[in-house]
Amino acid sequence: MNGDRLQRKIDVKICVLPGDGIGPEIIVQALRVLKALDLKCEIEEAPLGGCAVDAVGDPFPEATQRLALAADAVLLGAVGGPKWDVLPRELRPERGLLGIRKLLGLFANLRPAALYPELANASTLKPEVVAGLDLLIVRELTGDIYFGQPRGIETRGVDGVEQRIGINTMIYSEEEIRRIGKVAFEAARKRKRKLCSVDKSNVLETTQLWRDVMNELAPAYPDVELTHMLVDNAAMQLVRAPKQFDVIVTGNMFGDILSDEASMLTGSIGMLPSASLNETGKGLYEPCHGSAPDIAGKGLANPLATILSVAMMLRYSFALEEMAQRIENAVKNVLGQGLRTADIHEPGTTKLDTEQMGDAVLAAL
């Protein structure tokens, strides 16, 4: 993003994709918050996922692609639902999600897991283990065993027996590792300056290279403390003593698993935002949860993850740290007042519906 443009607060262009299920409901509240800020923004909405299949027979229509490419950032609700699960794979809503990640070259996925002290009881872990937890997982999103070739299921002779074998290839180039490493070091700089790189370098050459490249990057970030951890230990440490972590950087598959584990430490999926960035800093911002078809249209959805995704957009795509913190502080304030949606409600707090939670955040802003 051009710094000049930001300082003069000239419009930023945001492509909004409400999606399916609770997507439209939570996006409405996030947009109310965005519009309340001192930021000139041009907002254009487009269909993605199941609603796009219904409208034009394509989960990622060309018009949506054009808007996403032209925008400075993309804000997404969620896609999917049982209605579309019966469709052939190429027409499923998830295709839209994979399509937009690919189109925008979103290789870096940032998932914070922060536990607000007020919600310490929501976690399945003891409050003293998780209270004050604030970590960020930086996951590589476009490489690794999920995309490596060769892959497939084929029939071959193994040990003299003709049988099916499944093949996947774990592969990373040093350039792929370097670019995600830089994102992670930079993110650590904006936080407590501690970066833990997670690999399986005792067994896998791919991740030995991962560790080597992280070490090569470290001298350029003398203010960040780099450590390494094997993935099995990291999985264990995340539930044993998660507060030891500030930023974790890891590959696509390990990151997939660890980021879900970390998000559950907070016990409330409705609270967790995420960012996926490309090399120019353009990003797709979305809550970690799905389209929650079970509660869609009932006013039960928690909009805070989406509102916090707007804060991430301001921080990572537009370098508007102060505005990002204003939103985060408003959310803290609302929780401090004991205001809760149904998913995080507990005795002694006040239950709000989706729109009332939006009202509360706006009032706190």
Ligand X SMILES: NC(=O)c1ccc[n+]([C@@H]2O[C@H](COP(=O)([O-])OP(=O)(O)OC[C@H]3O[C@@H](n4cnc5c(N)ncnc54)[C@H](O)[C@@H]3O)[C@@H](O)[C@H]2O)c1
* 3-state secondary structure at position 307: helix
- Confirm whether 126 is a catalytic residue: no
Which of 80, 143, 255, 358 lies at the binding interface for ligand X (CB under 6 A)?
Answer: 80
- Confirm whether 260 is a catalytic residue: yes
- Confirm whether 85 is a catalytic residue: no
Q: How far is it, in rounded angstroms, from Cα 292 to Cα 156? A: 42
238 is a site residue for ligand X (CB under 6 A): no
- For ligand X, which is the closer residue by CB, 127 or 299? 299
* 3-state secondary structure at position 80: coil
302 is a site residue for ligand X (CB under 6 A): yes
- Confirm whether 232 is a catalytic residue: yes
Nearest partner of 250 among 260, 240, 241, judged by Cα: 260
Nearest partner of 132 among 289, 18, 244, judged by Cα: 244
Which residue stretch of 64-72, 76-84, 111-119, 124-132 sits at the interface with ligand X (rule: CB under 6 A)? 76-84
Q: How far is it, in rounded angstroms, from Cα 353 to Cα 69? A: 34
Min CB(50)–ligand X separation in Å: 8
Which of 110, 133, 136, 292 lies at the binding interface for ligand X (CB under 6 A)?
Answer: 292
231 is a site residue for ligand X (CB under 6 A): no
Min CB(165)–ligand X separation in Å: 29
Which residue stretch of 141-149, 243-251, 293-301, 307-315 sits at the interface with ligand X (rule: CB under 6 A)? 293-301
Min CB(312)–ligand X separation in Å: 15
Could you tell me the two tokens for 320? 């508007």
Helix H or strand E segment including 76? strand 73-78
- For ligand X, which is the closer residue by CB, 104 or 292? 292
- For ligand X, which is the closer residue by CB, 297 or 338? 297
Min CB(53)–ligand X separation in Å: 12
Which of 46, 51, 73, 97 lies at the binding interface for ligand X (CB under 6 A)?
Answer: 97
Half-sphere exposure of 111 (CA within 13 A, CB side): 27
Nearest partner of 158 among 170, 149, 167, judged by Cα: 167
Which residue stretch of 176-184, 276-284, 285-293, 319-327 sits at the interface with ligand X (rule: CB under 6 A)? 285-293
295 is a site residue for ligand X (CB under 6 A): yes
Start-to-end CA distance of the chain, whole Å, equals 25
- Pattern 306-345, ligand X, x by CB under 6 A: -------------------------------------x--
Residue 189: other Cβ atoms inside 10 A: 14
23 contacts 291 by C-beta, under 8 angstroms: yes
Which of 291, 330, 339, 352 lies at the binding interface for ligand X (CB under 6 A)?
Answer: 291
* Binders in 115-174 for ligand X, by CB under 6 A: none
25 is a site residue for ligand X (CB under 6 A): no
254 contacts 160 by C-beta, under 8 angstroms: no
Which residue stretch of 162-170, 195-203, 241-249, 284-292 sits at the interface with ligand X (rule: CB under 6 A)? 284-292
Q: To 10 degrees, the CA torsion angle through 124, 361, 81, 137?
A: -50
Q: Which of 83, 134, 182, 256 is catalytic?
A: 256
Beta 350-351 vs 339-340: how paired, if at all? Answer: parallel
Min CB(111)–ligand X separation in Å: 12
Owner of token pair 């027996």? 161
Q: Give counts: helices (H), strands (E), the chain.
A: 13, 14
- Confirm whether 146 is a catalytic residue: yes
* Beta carbons within 8 Å of 16's beta carbon, 6+ residues apart: 27, 31, 43, 44, 45, 46, 74, 75, 76
Active site residues: 146, 200, 232, 256, 260
Question: What residue ranges bind ligand X (CB under 6 A)?
Answer: 22, 26, 78-81, 94, 97, 269-270, 286, 289-295, 301-302, 305, 343
